[in-house]
Amino acid sequence: MPLVTTEQMLLDAQRGGYAVGAFNVENMEMIQAVVAAAEELHAPVMLQTTPSTVKYAGLACYYAIAKAAAEAASVPVAIHLDHGDSFELAMQALRAGYTSIMIDGSHVAYEENIEITKRVVDACAPSKISVEAELGKVGGKEDDLDGGAGGFTDPLEAKEFVERTKISSLAVAIGTAHGLYSGVPKLDLDRLSEIRKVVSIPLVLHGASGLSDEAVRESIKRGICKVNFATELRIAFSDGVKKVLSDAPDTFDPKKYNAVGRENVKQLVMNRMKVCGSEGKA
């Protein structure tokens, strides 16, 4: 089916008590793997590209591959700009055909975050494209994203932020981090519950790679409707490529090792979809 927008997808998840898996993709094989996993489990899914990924191959390239994969599938597939770091990039993604946009103003002051977020929301509204924003700061480092030590989302600020910006979904900072965890992360789940009490739109959990299944499920119970996975997909793909080249160093056909990386990603994504509870929800 054609690429879809994400507003209804996330509202359905909110009503159904599950979360949509949102998976960062870097190449054709990873897009194919994520969509194949969604098709096999009959689950809705979001493909995501970060600014550094966009720099690597361009918005048009990722959009075209995602569009082709979605049209060959029978499940809802969206293409989302993850951590859009400027109004200009958000508009470029909108014009390229992206069906969901994140503007991340968490690195600037609160009022400035509201200002840039509202500009993106207003620009996307005529096309009915949903906008995600972040309040607080998810810590850690991944690609060009550096959240440092992070900073927790304040529930009352979250309420005001949503009311003033009219965003469709809100990424919250409750103790997760981008990249790899050096220890066991401690999530402030009570904070998440407090945010849920005062914010009615779908909530998003970033930095889920490395979280326990139990932590993800509990977060969903407390209001998370979209869960982002990135680092562990890269590791799965790279491990597949490394294994082929280790077992058969003379392999020179990229199709040989990329196929193994693709299958690794597919199996991982299926596992994460089951944890999110989105299996059979398409």
Determine how many CB atoms are found less than 10 A away from the CB of residue 148: 11
Distance from CA of residue 181 to its chain's centroid? 18
Read off the amino acid at residue 184.
V
Sign of the dihedral through C-alpha 229, 270, 18, 4: positive
Beta strands of the chain (E only): which ranges? 20-24, 45-49, 77-84, 100-103, 130-135, 139-142, 145-146, 169-172, 177-178, 203-205, 224-229
DSSP H or E segment with residue 59: helix 59-71
Q: Which residues of 177-190 are buried (b: 16+ CB within 10 A; e: fewer)?
A: bbbeeeeebebbbe
Query: Which of 12, 82, 85, 104 is labelled catalytic?
Result: 82
Q: For residue 12, indicate whether it is catalytic.
A: no
Read off the amino acid at residue 221.
K
CA 55 to CA 89: how far, in whole Å? Answer: 11
CB contact at 8 A, 130 and 123: no
Catalytic machinery residues: 82
